């Protein structure tokens, strides 16, 4: 369940990554064609894909999923902090890379972590399905945290708008070409969500280590006393020889 909550949060972050990118790129390169502007939104995803493969490989070699999930959070915090703190399009484009480097890892690692901490094929199938389901729920949440509130409330003036993307807004504090919607509610929500994820991952790691230590000390040895082989096989995570994979 904890891994499902983590993936739920991560999928929301991943979906939120794409929301401001077209507007940011358009504000940096206003003279380029739409095709070239769209192509410039691709590099963050390429970096995110590479990091997902790298952390997946390293977690497989070291058999440590939680560690790499924990290390993925600082780029998220840094990226969403930039989204919240500045309207400078170059810094916000940098933030897109930071967020991509962190959030895409969670989709693969949360699924692997949940699958590695169950005992039977049935439990593994249910665990993976629950984790993926929770992740998709994160996408639904992200949809409702990035809204065009500023435009609807008349707090910004659209400089460039079409039916496929959000407007570039002019504000009194900076030049029109350098301004873009702040998406403050969505980015602030995701910043807080990233901090919560850090504590969730850290807490789950500590809990797993505590449980493994207790099992090694013989806490669950009594569970197999007087039981048949079939009953012992059905103990699953309660079996004294079972160890959580951190």
User: What does each of the 246 residues of the chain score in pLDDT, given as a tens digit?
Assistant: 555 555 555 555 665 566 667 777 887 888 888 888 889 889 999 999 999 999 999 999 999 999 999 999 999 999 999 989 988 888 988 998 999 999 888 888 988 999 999 888 888 999 898 888 888 887 777 777 766 544 344 444 444 444 444 444 444 333 333 334 677 888 888 899 899 999 999 999 999 999 999 999 999 998 888 888 888 888 888 889 899 998
- Sequence-distant (6+) residues with CB within 8 A of 5 are 134, 200
Residue 3 has what pLDDT? Answer: 52
Neighbours of 153 (CB within 10 A): 8
Looking up tokens 């309660």 gives: 238
Residue 148 has what pLDDT? Answer: 55
Residue 177 has what pLDDT? Answer: 31
- As given in the structure block, the two tokens for residue 212 are 């493994």
Give the chain's end-to-end CA distance (angstroms, integer).
15
Residue 31 has what pLDDT? Answer: 85
- As given in the structure block, the two tokens for residue 146 are 């990035």
Evaluate whether 112 touches 68 at the Cβ level (below 8 Å): no
Q: How far is CA 158 from CA 16, 29, 73, 143, in A?
A: 22, 17, 34, 21
Q: How far apart are CA 99 and CA 72, in angstroms?
A: 9
């Amino acid at each position: 369940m904890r891994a499902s909550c983590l993936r739920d949060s991560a999928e929301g972050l991943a979906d939120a990554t794409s929301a401001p990118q077209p507007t940011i790129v358009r504000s940096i390169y206003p003279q380029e064609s739409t095709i070239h502007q769209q192509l410039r939104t691709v590099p963050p995803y390429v970096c995110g894909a590479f990091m997902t493969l790298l952390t997946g490989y390293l977690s497989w070699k070291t058999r440590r999923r939680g560690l790499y999930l924990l290390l993925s959070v600082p780029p998220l915090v840094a990226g969403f902090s930039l989204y919240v703190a500045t309207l400078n399009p170059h810094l916000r484009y940098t933030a897109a890379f930071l967020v991509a480097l962190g959030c895409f890892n969670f989709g693969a690692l949360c699924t692997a972590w949940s699958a590695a901490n169950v005992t039977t094929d049935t439990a593994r199938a249910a665990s993976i399905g629950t984790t993926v389901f929770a992740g998709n729920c994160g996408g639904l949440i992200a949809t409702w945290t990035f809204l065009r509130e500023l435009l609807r409330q008349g707090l910004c003036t659209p400089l460039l708008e079409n039916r496929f993307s959000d407007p570039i807004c002019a504000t009194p504090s900076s030049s029109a070409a350098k301004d873009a919607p702040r998406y403050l509610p969505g980015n602030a929500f995701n910043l807080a969500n990233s901090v919560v994820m850090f504590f969730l991952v850290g807490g789950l790691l500590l809990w797993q280590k505590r449980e493994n230590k207790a099992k090694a000390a013989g806490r669950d040895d009594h569970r197999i006393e007087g039981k048949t082989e079939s009953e012992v096989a059905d103990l699953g995570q309660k079996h004294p020889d079972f160890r959580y994979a951190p």
